[in-house]
Structure 1
Amino acid sequence: MSLAPRAVLVHRTSEYEELLARHGTHGQAGFFLSSRGRAIEEPAARHLRARRTLAEVAAAVPLNWRQARVERADLDRFLFGPEDVVVVVGTDGLVANAAKYLSGQPVVGIDTEPGRGLGVLVRHRPEETARLLAAAVSGSAVLDELTMVEAVADNTERIRALNEIYLGRSGHQSARYRLTAGAGTGRGGPGADPGATEGAGRERTPVSETQASSGVLVGTGTGATGWLRSLWRERSSGLPLPGPADPRLLWFVREAWPSPATGASLVAGVLERTDVLRLTVESDRLVAFGDGVESDALELTWGQSIRLGVAETRLRLLI
């Protein structure tokens, strides 16, 4: 007997709740904000709107479905199942936070504050929830399949991200590593057996350079509205930005420092579907994390290598 669908409602702690956790009471939180020229009423009102939206979405889940809730801080410990429909109730950034833990489940984005953000990923209103859930399980839903980026370390640990993956020092100080571009072309992506790519796909001679920089950023078309775009604009880059569904990534080295031992010529490029960017660590400790969540990072040390490329898994977002 197959399991009933499960609606997993993803939400996050509000600013108001964080203020209460820190200051204890509404009055103390209000006093703290007033001393900095803000009023407690604004975060309190936003908190109430978000709670009402979450309650409305929960009430729209069919009675014969299972239901679960997960807060953003607990996503890395939550086990998503293949029968889940993931309902993100919040902002675009919350969809990105959830995406790295999914493996093809359909995602519905519900905007708690229409007009406050771009609404690129949270495209729907709470009153649409019942219809969207029905479409997700009936096969009638129209889906955007958004490209993700994946990093795989030589010890097989991996992370995925919807916007971008950053590699460097945790404090963004100078990191030492050897960068190889054009490596691992062929079938399989960054997680494949390197031997399986030999002779497959197009041939390209890898180019390497030892660098000292404040890190490397590898981003998707979805990330091209954020951090990746800021680097692209700063460089006045001629590389075409990918679209969210394009199986193509852009990468940039941040503030590469030229010296007798390090270079600064290999600082930007494109990764097509089967391309891999390889980084070999020459520092005590580097980290790789996705979408700004450094608390869920891979840690790398001397001699370790990591490969980045287009992930086979995509975010399946209901239109």
Structure 2
Amino acid sequence: MTLAPRAVLVHRRTEYEELLAHHGTPGQAAFFLSSRGRSVAEVEHRHHRQAEALARAAAAVPLDWRRTRVERADLPRFLFEPEDVVVVVGQDGLVANVAKYLDGQPVIGVDADPGRNPGVLVRHRADALPALLPAAVARSGSRHLEERTMVEAVADDTQRLLALNEVYVGQPGHQTARYRLTVTGAGAGAAETPPLSAGSPGPRGSAGPPDSGEPQASSGVLIGTGTGATGWCRSAWLERGGPLALPEAAAPALAWFVREAWPSPATGTSRVHGVLDAGRQLVLTVESDRLVAFGDGIETDALELTWGQSIRLGVAATRLRLLG
């Protein structure tokens, strides 16, 4: 017997709910905000808009479907099913938060507060869901599922991390990280990375010894997708003067940037940015007591790396399937 589709409504606690949880009463929350020159009315208004969007989304689920809700903090403990249609009600960042827990389930992004969000990933209003939900399972018609590239990080002890925007590898306090950086795989071109310093291995495909990597000291490394090219990676790209073409959201490619590489007799700066296609990986071998790798800004869900460990980063086989 085929199971009916299940609508999973994903949301996060509003600022107002966070304030109530911290201060205990609406009056105390209002006093806290007023002491900082803010009005509780504006925070309550956004809370009510979120609640209304959630209620509309729940009401739009067909009667013969199963349904459930999950709050962002509970995502690591929630088990998604193959038949799920994931309805993210909130901001663009919430889609990124849920993406790494999925395995091909279609996602519909619902903007709970139009006008405040860019709407890159939460493109729809709640009142569009009666038409969008059937389209998500029909796999045909005018609506299409846009597949967005994700980045995967795998440590040599099998720890694994997925991210929709970017993965950061560096020191947990964002101080100096020490590691050896290597780019592996075929199909590389010298134009994708800065010229190598004298004595460094040549570009892939040229004659010469295998690439042994470059020891570096920096503020960490960012590896991002085309989706992430609108956020943290774009900031690094702009700061560097746009040295390469950032990938499109659906392109099977990643852009990477070394943050504030430090030149010294023992560390180099010849490899500070580049593009990885699906056949290539960035490998970092840890030369510090401790580094971490986390995705999409969630530092509490990080891989722990110690001296001598290596981590490989590249295009993930898993892709976010977002309803257009």
Whether the TM-score (by the shorter chain) exceeds 0.5 is: yes
**Equivalences for residues 1-319 of structure 1 within 5 A:** 1-140=1-140, 141-181=143-183, 183-185=184-186, 203=205, 206=211, 208-319=213-324
1:194 aligned partner: none
Cα distance in 2 for partners of 1:149, 1:41 equals 40
Contact persistence 1:185–1:274 (CA under 8 A): yes
Cα distance in 2 for partners of 1:284, 1:238 equals 32
Could you tell me which runs of 5 or more consecutive residues in structure 1 were left unpaired when the two chains were aligned: 187-201
Deviation at 1:130, TM superposition (A): 1.7
Cα distance in 1 for partners of 2:67, 2:279 equals 38
Deviation at 1:207, TM superposition (A): 5.8
Cα distance in 2 for partners of 1:2, 1:90 equals 31
Cα distance in 1 for partners of 2:63, 2:172 equals 46
Structure 1-normalised TM-score? 0.92
Letter in 1 for 2:97: N
Secondary structure at the aligned position of 2:4 is classed as: coil
Cα distance in 1 for partners of 2:27, 2:69 equals 29
Secondary structure at the aligned position of 1:137 is classed as: helix
Secondary structure at the aligned position of 1:113 is classed as: coil
Deviation at 1:312, TM superposition (A): 0.9
Letter in 2 for 1:273: A
Contact persistence 1:185–1:276 (CA under 8 A): no
Secondary structure at the aligned position of 2:317 is classed as: coil
Segments ≥4 residues shifted beyond 3 Å = 202-207
Cα distance in 2 for partners of 1:150, 1:237 equals 24
1:189 aligned partner: none
1:191 aligned partner: none
1:199 aligned partner: none
Letter in 1 for 2:154: V
Letter in 1 for 2:247: P
Deviation at 1:184, TM superposition (A): 3.6
- How many correspondences in the alignment? 303
Deviation at 1:203, TM superposition (A): 4.8
Could you tell me which runs of 5 or more consecutive residues in structure 2 were left unpaired when the two chains were aligned: 188-203
Deviation at 1:72, TM superposition (A): 0.7
Spell out, residue by residue over 1:13-41, the C-alpha distance to the aligned partner (whole angstroms, 9 max, x if none). Answer: 10000111111111111111111110111
Cα distance in 2 for partners of 1:203, 1:106 equals 40
Cα distance in 2 for partners of 1:297, 1:75 equals 15
Cα distance in 1 for partners of 2:116, 2:79 equals 31
Cα distance in 2 for partners of 1:208, 1:266 equals 9
Deviation at 1:266, TM superposition (A): 1.1
Cα distance in 2 for partners of 1:206, 1:139 equals 45
Cα distance in 1 for partners of 2:182, 2:168 equals 16
Spell out, residue by residue over 1:90-113, the C-alpha distance to the aligned partner (whole angstroms, 9 max, x if none). Answer: 010000111111111100000001
Letter in 2 for 1:21: A
